[in-house]
Structures are given as structure tokens and as C-alpha cells.
Amino acid sequence: MIREPLLNAAILAGLVLFPLWAWSAGEPFLITLATKAVILGLAGVGLNIALGLGGLVSLGHAVFFGIGGYAMGILASHAQLFDPILTEPFTLNGTKSMPIIWVLAVVTSGLAALAIGMLSLRTSGIYFIMITLAFGQMFYYFAISWPAYGGEDGLSIYLRNSFPGMNTLDPIQFYAICATILFIVLLFNARLARSPFGLALGAARQSPLRVETVGLSPYRLRLVAFVISGMITGLAGALFADLNRFVSPTMFSWHLSGEIIVFILIGGTARLFGPVVGAIVFVTLEHMLGGVSDYWKIYLGVMLLLIVLFARGGLIGLLAGRERAHD
């Protein structure tokens, strides 16, 4: 058994060294794959705060991923056409600046998470899963039927958005931006898990009655967790759209919500690096088996089945054993 912090450090080192190797070997496509894994991992880290810490199985996190994507798509498409988003009552122009896009992606997905959370957190268990799925489908069909931003065809952005001082079209530089964001969010997640909020949220998952009895509201704790979770997944959505220079309603689809859950299950629920490991495995399998067969997800399914049956702690649990109690 490897201790979890050691394992995490190894994963972190891999996330730095692999793209550097690919860069020196002249394999930009591998860097792009790594970028995809990092961004999907970030979306999973977002969900893991709600699902792992809070026990909230949201089958609608694609909503936030999609909102982040469309925040980028809408702002950038207006900017590239020099067409203001609003002229009345004030002029609001689009932007190609990544930091501004991120802020808007985080704010809008946070507001959506607040609204969805306020309604869906009044339920629990299977009802919570179903109501979050229902919200996901609402957003999906809305995006399909909204002609202003491409409807079913989605929106293409000609040039990747800009970040001050960086050439974002260079794969290794864009990777550096995404990986830095992931590391910052992981640091925040690690602190959050041990913070007073994390302690109370974890207790609300295990025994809501206990939390109420010490004078705290499980609903409020879960709502805050859901909003933080949605904001992180929204940020991942904005980065994902920038990676592809394309956003479409599939970012809202329930398949994507399911895939984010799969990342967490493969890597290990409530484990800090669980979703990152899951996303790396997912992207690797997709790349290696996707060329062999269109039905590569069969193999993913078998793997998921084995993990759920025999390794409930995911790959991290398999390698590092049970999570140690914080002391």
C-alpha cells in the first residue's frame, strides 16, 4: 500500500512531466489529450465536492459544464463578430479574454446551482437524482431549441481566447493554464475537506439528524456545497469549450453528467485526486480503444463494473487503501 499523499504527489508529478515529455518529443496531440483529461478532471473535482463530501448524487452537473461552455461561446462569438450582446439599456460587448470569461462562467453556473439547489435539495435520494436529471434535460433541450446561438449545431470560435502574456494556441501553454487552475482548485478542495465547513458537510452526509441537533442546517450546508461544486464544474466547461473552440448542446447532455460521475467512481469517491485519475483513465481508454472500436465504452463499462464490485474506493482506494481518518 502506498500512502495517499505520496500517491497524490506522484499523480501531480505525472501531470507536470507527461506534457513536458510530449512537448519535447514533438507530440502536440498528446498534450491536447492531457489537457482534455485535466479539464474533465476539474469538472469531476467540482462534482466530487457535492457527491463525495456531501453525498449529493447529482445527475445534472452537465448543466454547469454547459453553462460554462456557453458563457465562453456567447461572449467569444459576439466578440469575433464585433456584435454587442446588448445595446439597451447599456452597451455590453463580448470578450475574448479568458479571465473575464472564467469569472462570468463561474458566476452564471453558481447562480444556476443556487436556483437548482434550492429546489432539488428539498428532496433526497432517488428523487434528488431524478430532479437534477430533469434540470439537465431542460437545459439540454433549451440549448437545442434556442436558434440565436447555433441551436443543435452549436457555436464555433475561430481563435482560442486570450490570456495575458500567453499564447493560448500553443498546446503546452494552454495546458499550463488548465493544469494551474486544476492545482489551485485541488488545493482549495483539500483545505475545504478539513475545514469547519467540510466537517459539517461530511457529518450532514453521514447523519443529518446529528448536524441539526448541534444547531446547524444540513440544507444550508448542502446548498453551499452544491453552489461551489457547480461553479467549479462551470469553470471546467468554459475551459473545455476553449479547448475545442466549439460549444454545443452535447455539453448539457445527461451522458456527460453520467461520465463525470464515472470519473469519480473510477478514481475513488471523496478522494482528492479521484476524479482526476478517473478522467485520465477515461481519456486514455478513449484514445487507445476508440481507434479499435466505436464501442470502446463496453470496456469502460466492464472496468466500472469491476471497480464497483471489487474496489469500492476506486483506483485510489485500490492503491492507497482506506482513507485515513483525519486526526
Partner 1 sequence: MTDVMLQTIGICKNFGALEASRDITLDLRVGEIHALIGPNGAGKSTLIKQIAGGLRPDAGRVLLGGADITALDTAARAQRGLARTFQISELAMEDTVLQNATLGALGAGGAPMRFWRAALDLQDLRETAIAALERVGLAAKSASRTAELSHGERRQLEVAVALTLNPKAFVMDEPMAGLGTAGSKTMTTFLDGLRAQAPILLVEHDMDAVFALADRISVLVYGRIIATGTVAEIRNDAAVRAAYLGEEA
Closest approach, Cβ 6 to partner 1, in A, equals 20
Residue closer to partner 1, measured from CB, 103 or 192? 192
Closest approach, Cβ 211 to partner 1, in A, equals 7
Residue closer to partner 1, measured from CB, 195 or 293? 195
Residue closer to partner 1, measured from CB, 172 or 216? 216
Q: Which residues bind partner 1 (CB under 8 A)?
A: 188, 191-192, 194-200, 202-203, 206-207, 209-217, 221, 224, 325-327
Of 98, 64, 92, 89, whose CA–CA distance to 78 is shortest?
92
The whole-angstrom separation of Cα 129 and Cα 134 is 9
**From the CB of residue 323, how many other CB atoms can be counted at a distance below 10 Å?**
15
Strand partners, 86: 92
Closest approach, Cβ 198 to partner 1, in A, equals 7
The H helix count followed by the E strand count for the chain is 13, 2
Closest approach, Cβ 224 to partner 1, in A, equals 7
Check if the beta carbon of residue 249 is closer than 8 Å to that of residue 140. Answer: yes
Closest approach, Cβ 97 to partner 1, in A, equals 27
DSSP string for 77-146 = HHHHHT--SB-SSS-B----BHHHHHHHHHHHHHHHHHHHHHHHTTS-THHHHHHHHHHHHHHHHHHHH-
Residue closer to partner 1, measured from CB, 25 or 214? 214
Check if the beta carbon of residue 230 is closer than 8 Å to that of residue 54. Answer: no
CA angle 25, 169, 160 (to 5 degrees): 150
Of 231, 238, 256, 228, whose CA–CA distance to 71 is shortest?
238
Closest approach, Cβ 326 to partner 1, in A, equals 7
Residue closer to partner 1, measured from CB, 225 or 307? 225
Closest approach, Cβ 219 to partner 1, in A, equals 9
Check if the beta carbon of residue 161 is closer than 8 Å to that of residue 74. Answer: no
